[in-house]
Amino acid sequence: MNPSGTTSSPVIDFRVRVPSAVRPPIADGGDVYTQYEAVLDIGNGWHKGMDELLAEMDAAGVSHAVLHAEFEHGDYADALNEEVAEQVARHPGRFSGYGTVTLEPLRVMPAVRQVERAAALGLRGINVQPSFFGHAIDDRQLYPVYAKATELGLAVALHTGVNYSRRHPIDAERPERLDKVACDFPEATLIACHGSWPWIPEIVAVARRHPNLLIDFGGLAPKYIGVPGSGWDVMFRFMDRLLRDQILFATDWPVFPFQRALDQWRELGLRPETLEALMHGNAGRLLEGRKAVPV
């Protein structure tokens, strides 16, 4: 750390949404987006483009970001995968990419071929949001997707914890379901997106069991992680030492702004080595294809 309180290494945001013309209009999402907008109040942020993404990264000092082909309704997987790959090719120093698979409907072999296509495009992982499409994290129909991604060296990022659509039960995204996947795929690199709140002791226990599981905190205000009684207390204690090698800085841009996220993380009082791991070291290791060392 330098005297200004910033990390000495370049900041890597491990999950931003790819700005894409193929992304469906917000209205097409119906009450899913209506309910999300009521909670998150993103407004016109949903419509930001690549120029705005790069400008905001530059202003906040974010050197690299992982673009995710992330969506919550319909079937835009193939188009978003191609868009992510195109942007990575245009800006190889600024972006890496995670693809996705079709879940509406989920058909096993087409989904497996989408994973193969993601690897052929040079993407580094896949992002799956099962509960938005009526599936649980440990749905056996998804196992061929996890197996193919693991075989090809792609990480698997999964939406965990609360979602704000009242049509999708959050039980489908409990960390104990992710624990089952980690047990069945000990060679996989798994990422629990959004930190898994409100099941924080549960995700901490699962992460302690599985050093191949990492946790990102995209789409939430980091300041609450340090607020006693917010439900994050166990995470705040463990991430500063025992889980230091398993945490990832992420914003889910445009859901949460880069600068605000960085400022709030830096004000939490975490150890300098923890902030270094959070904002650079762990992401750099994953992007280089290196595994964490079991504790």
Nearest residue to 118 (alpha-carbon basis) of 158, 148, 160, 161: 148
pTM: 0.90
Report the pLDDT value the prediction gives residue 70, as an integer from 0 to 100.
85
Q: Which amino acid is at 271?
A: R
Report the pLDDT value the prediction gives residue 291, as an integer from 0 to 100.
56
Total Cβ atoms within 10 A of residue 179: 21
Report the pLDDT value the prediction gives residue 165, as an integer from 0 to 100.
65
Total Cβ atoms within 10 A of residue 163: 22
pLDDT tens readout for residues 197-250: 999 999 999 999 999 999 999 989 999 999 999 999 999 999 999 999 999 999
Q: Can you tell me whether residue 29 is helix, strand or coil?
A: helix
pLDDT class of 48 with cuts at 50, 70, 90: confident
Give yes or no for residue 38 having a pLDDT over 90. Answer: no
pLDDT class of 21 with cuts at 50, 70, 90: confident
Q: Let me know how long the chain is.
A: 295
pLDDT tens readout for residues 151-190: 999 999 999 987 766 667 788 999 999 999 999 999 999 9
In angstroms, the CA 155 to CA 44 distance is 31
- Alpha-carbon Rg for the chain, nearest whole angstrom, is 17
In angstroms, the CA 185 to CA 149 distance is 11
